[in-house]
Structure 1
Amino acid sequence: MAWSNEPIDKAYTLSNLADLLSQGLLGSMSRFSHFQIVEWCARFAEHYDREPDNELPATPEQALDIADDVVVQWELYLATQYTLEELNRFSLGDVVLPKQLFETWLNHLLDLPTTH
């Protein structure tokens, strides 16, 4: 899928965090690249209003930790899976993180069991 390089235009809410993590589970079928999701998560801490969401069990602090982990795991994935030369050959928007990462983050956000 050809993704846009534009930043995701969604409010920084718990519901939108859950939606984007769900999109990440779809991999290449997602409406957004994993890079776009990571960038949105990076801005989440700065813009998040810290209002709880009655539909989601996660606390604002848990949501911030999850969004931060998305960014950290992205950086670790790039550092361990690609050389600098490889990273220069393609767009970061082409990188697809392992599905298990999004599954774990979403399970934590929704307070679901994280083991299979």
Structure 2
Amino acid sequence: MSKLDDLEHTTDNLKKMLKKALEHRLVHKELADWCYEYWNSEEQLEKSRYKGDKGLKVAEEIDTQWELYLINTYSLTELQKLDVSKIQIPREWLQDWLNSLD
């Protein structure tokens, strides 16, 4: 169980995680996994219908872009051998996502 499993899925927590990722204090794979859980949660989807949850949209984009980045950057053979905890998505993306939450 990851320490992030108990972290509530909120826009504020997403901002904190993006800041940590920018400071190299959070593995990008963990960020992407947490974002998947955020936007894929039925409870969160239901809440977002009633309030404009910016974080939900950004979390979905982060999860999607992580997957696309892996597919477009590495071959299947490379992915099977790589330690994905070492892979970092472009810093500019992290900063753009953080800025979009302000």
TM (norm. structure 2) is 0.83
**2:85 paired residue number:** 93
Q: What secondary structure does 1:103 align onto?
A: helix
User: For residue 9 of structure 2, what is the aligned residue in structure 1?
Assistant: 12
SS of the aligned residue for 1:17 comes to helix
Q: Secondary structure at the match of 1:88?
A: helix
Q: Which amino acid aligns with 1:14?
A: T
> Equivalents in 1 of 2:82, 2:28: separation in Å?
14
**Any residues of structure 2 matched to 1:1-116 within 5 Å, and which?**
6=2, 8=4, 9-26=6-23, 29-30=24-25, 32-45=26-39, 46=41, 47-48=43-44, 49-50=47-48, 59-60=52-53, 62-110=54-102
RMSD: 1.9
What is the alpha-carbon distance in structure 2 between the residues aligned to residue 6 and residue 86 of structure 1? Answer: 25
- The one-letter code matched in structure 2 to 1:6 is S
Between the two proteins, the alignment pairs up a number of residues equal to 96
Give CA-to-partner distance per residue, 1:10-34, whole Å, 9 cap, x none: 11111101101111212xx31x210
Runs of 5+ consecutive residues of structure 2 not aligned to the other structure: none
Distance 1:87 1:6 in 2: 22
* Partner AA of 2:17 in structure 1: L
1:24 & 1:98 partners in 2: Cα distance?
A: 11
Q: Percent identity?
A: 27
One-letter amino acid of the structure 1 residue matched with residue 2 of structure 2 = E
